[in-house]
Amino acid sequence: MKITQSAGFTLLELMMVIALIAVLSLGSWQGWQRWQQLRQLNDSAQQIQRLLLRLRSDAWWHNDDRVIWLKPGRYWCLGGGSIPDVCSPQARFTLLAPWPEVSIRSMTAEIGFYGVKNTARPGNITIASDAGERRIIVSSRGRVRICSVSEEGCR
């Protein structure tokens, strides 16, 4: 009597492994997208904060006012000083939307910096994406900080 031993896996076992891999990769793909959205939101908030700090320093250095303006839209443009007809990435005090998924939800009117002792007209800029919201807050003493809208001290 001959006994044959087959080496390998059955079709059912292979299909179960492929289904398990598909489920795991789908979960990791959603996590990856969420992480990307959060990274883009935080990156945009940090770029706005750096722009505001440059405007504050320039206002103090030249002892002049730097009022912040916004051109809204999907590809928004934020800057200080005189409002240009067309936003240019080469402009020193202009920030073009780094990520089209991140939008500016609100901005305090006539927020800006004054040349006297780093003072400012207080206000905030709120940006949002699918990952959440961030608020960039400018205090009357010229301090610029970022916080999550859900935080207690961010209101």
pLDDT in tens, 131-152: 999 999 999 999 999 999 888 7
**Is the predicted pLDDT of residue 7 greater than 80, yes or no?**
no
Superfamily of domain 31-154: minor pseudopilin epsh domain (3.55.40.10)
* Alpha-carbon span 147 to 101, nearest angstrom: 19
Q: Kindly report the average pLDDT of the chain as a whole number.
A: 89
User: What pLDDT shows up at residue 149?
Assistant: 82
Give the pair of three-digit tokens for residue 37. Answer: 């959205």
User: What pLDDT shows up at residue 84?
Assistant: 87
Greater pLDDT, 15 or 2: 15
What is the residue extent of each domain of the chain?
A: 31-154
- The whole-model pTM stands at 0.82
- Strands 123-129, 132-138: pairing is antiparallel
User: What pLDDT shows up at residue 1?
Assistant: 62
> How far out from the chain centre does Cα 101 lie?
9
Give the pair of three-digit tokens for residue 134. Answer: 């961030």
Per-residue pLDDT averaged across 1-22, rounded?
80
Phi, psi of 20 (to 5 degrees): -65, -45
